[in-house]
Structure 1
Amino acid sequence: MSTLVDDLRARLRGPRGVRRELLREVEDGLRDAAEAYENAGLPPADAARKAADEFGDPAALAPLYQAELDASRGRRAALLIALAYPTLTLAWDALWRYTSVGDGAAPDGVATVAGALDTGSYGAAIVAAATIPLYGRASAATARRLTVAVGLLGWLSLVLIMATSIWMAQASGDHAVRDFESNVPSMLVVGLTVTASLAIAGTATLALSRWWEPRAAR
């Protein structure tokens, strides 16, 4: 039985905790089946062999387990995107509205770009949230494609948001930087943004990694 579980473990790629739990369930199922055969009168070695034969070929079953791992990885990234972007958008809007950072007049174009950035952030969050229920009945191939798509969404949206944010900071001039440095709420929002961006980058990279993992693991 341990050989079968080791074979299956070598074929699966995904979140360590979820993979460990899946393999534990397989191992427990095999053990229960072997004990049942032993209770029916089979010798331990024969009972273990029969339980393994009944389980099936790990190569044939791995895609089914991999689909669950892909769904877990993709759902985790999608949920983070769906929660992080609206939270960050609301935090930045509150900063501009209710603190001294937003007292100065915005240069031409900055307000327009900021509005587009808010719309894009909410759009990315909505798309990410919409992918989560799709995993419910997804095949192994569909789950992998969804996970890759979520990874692409995470990175593309993050790059666009960072690029536009840098442009707005430069367009606002040195006085905006000084306002941020002297304002505690602004530094808290910046810290939240950096933390959320790193988290999105990490989960998106893990999701996107299904694109280039060996086909044998798919």
Structure 2
Amino acid sequence: MAGVGVIDDYVTGLGRTLKGPRGPRLDMVAEARDSLLDTAEALEDDGLERAEAERAAVEDFGPLGAIAPRYQEELSALAGRRLAALLFISAPLTTLMWSVIWRLFPAGSAYTAGPDWLAPVSYVLDVLQVGIGVLGAFAMFALGRGLHRIRRPRLVTRLLALFVWAAMPVTLALCVALMYGSHGPAGFSGYPLGVGVALVSDGFWLLQLYGAAQCLSVSRHRPVAV
């Protein structure tokens, strides 16, 4: 039986207060609506009028001021898990791709004839990327199976996003140093495989920044009942 009135008003208000990934947010709102409808229908079968049953179901479910923050915490944790998973996959994969590229780079190229500091800079960049991947693994666990042990998952999500934004300039600086230490972008112009890996790396970094921006937005939002 389709619900109208109190339940629809409640669910609409819940949807307006929440902020986060669109798909999961809509799923949460839909689940809340289904739960309310089931409760209302059960109360209606017990003899209550429809409007009264809906009011009773909403009262039993809880006020928006108490429910919305819990839903928002779940959305924050979900956004954090998504970013953590991206870091866990993309950072080590980027390191692996570039390690292979430098080994396959044509002999006698600008890179192989570069200055001595190129190798240490490359090593530091590799360590940084692997470290980011490890951090992503820890964050995935903390916001997944370890979620019941964390009092403020919103804070974990926010700190992870801030770390991504702080680490990105360092990563880009190291990459620029490697590029120009090997005599600039011209060194890659005739090497399609290197250009392809560079584009994939740029795509990963853009996704990381987008995910971090979304996490900052979600973790900053504090629901207010409307």
Note whether the superposition's TM-score is higher than 0.5.
yes
Alpha-carbon deviation of 1:11? 2.0
> 2:60 matched to 1:54?
yes
Instruction: Determine what percentage of the aligned residue pairs are the same residue.
Output: 31
Q: Answer yes or no: is the 8 Å Cα contact 2:80–2:157 preserved in 1.
A: yes
> Which residue matches 2:30?
24
Q: Does the Cα contact within 8 Å between 2:76 and 2:219 map onto a contact in 1?
A: no
**Poorly superposed stretches of 4+, deviation over 4 Å:** 214-217
Unaligned segments of structure 2, at least 5 residues: 1-6
Contact persistence 1:78–1:131 (CA under 8 A): yes
Counterpart-to-counterpart distance in 2, 1:106 and 1:37 = 77
Offset of 1:143 from its aligned partner?
1.1
- Distance in structure 1 (CA, Å) of the matches to 2:44 and 2:68: 27
Contact 1:95 1:102 in 2 (8 A): no
Unmatched 5+ stretches in structure 1: none
CA RMSD of aligned residues (A): 1.8
* Structure 1 position 179, deviation (Å): 2.8
User: 116, 125, 128: which is aligned to 1:120?
Assistant: 128
1:144 aligns with 2:150: no
Report the CA distance between 1:146 and its aligned residue.
Answer: 0.6
More moved, 141-150 vs 199-208 = 141-150
Residues 79 and 128 in structure 1, CA contact (< 8 A), matched pair in contact too = yes
- Whole-Å separation in 2 of the counterparts to 1:211 and 1:15: 12
Which residue of structure 1 lines up, in the alignment, with residue 79 of structure 2? 73
SS at match of 2:152: helix
Give the whole-Å Cα distance in 2 for the aligned partners of 1:168 and 1:18. 40
Residues paired across the two proteins, number:
214
Per chain length, whose mean CA-contact separation is higher, i.e. which structure has more relative contact order (CA < 8 Å, sep 6+)?
2
CA positional deviation for 1:108: 2.2
- The answer on whether the counterparts of 1:152 and 1:204 sit within 8 Å (CA) in structure 2 is yes
TM-score (norm 1): 0.91
Normalized per residue, the structure richer in helix is 1
User: What residue is the counterpart of 2:97 in the other structure?
Assistant: 91
